Amino acid sequence: GQNIDQPTEMTATEGAIVQINCTYQTSGFNGLFWYQQHAGEAPTFLSYNVLDGLEEKGRFSSFLSRSKGYSYLLLKELQMKDSASYLCAVRDPDSWGKLQFGAGTQVVVTP
């Protein structure tokens, strides 16, 4: 099995930057994903990391260190619409179709 930890909640001001950390413990590794989920809605894909380093996509960036079992999602120039839950997920090394999700980090953006 795999253990995935991320903070429960973070608060930041509109226009600021927030970094959401995710640590995982796994017997194997086959990719890490970040999803955004607004309350009562479907998760939407944000990023995918399989190699170490930073992946940048607009205001969102995701970083991975496989040796440390660590990833972060960086949200820049925060907007009110970024208030949502951010889910870190690790792909099962034996089954590329199976993702294990963390409990999610609720980000609250204040004016």
Partner 1 sequence: DSGVTQTPKHLITATGQRVTLRCSPRSGDLSVYWYQQSLDQGLQFLIHYYNGEERAKGNILERFSAQQFPDLHSELNLSSLELGDSALYFCASSVTQGPEAFFGQGTRLTVV
Instruction: Take residue 9 and report the two structure tokens written for it.
Output: 């909640």
How does strand 32-37 pair with strand 18-25?
unpaired
Whichever of 17 and 57 has its CB closer to partner 1, that residue is 57
Query: Residue 18 CB, nearest distance to partner 1 (Å)?
Result: 21
Q: Which of residues 20 and 78 has its CB atom nearest to partner 1 in the complex?
A: 20
By CB under 8 A, tell whether 43 contacts partner 1.
yes
- Interacting residue ranges for partner 1, rule: CB under 8 A: 31, 33, 40-45, 48, 50, 87, 89, 91-92, 95-104
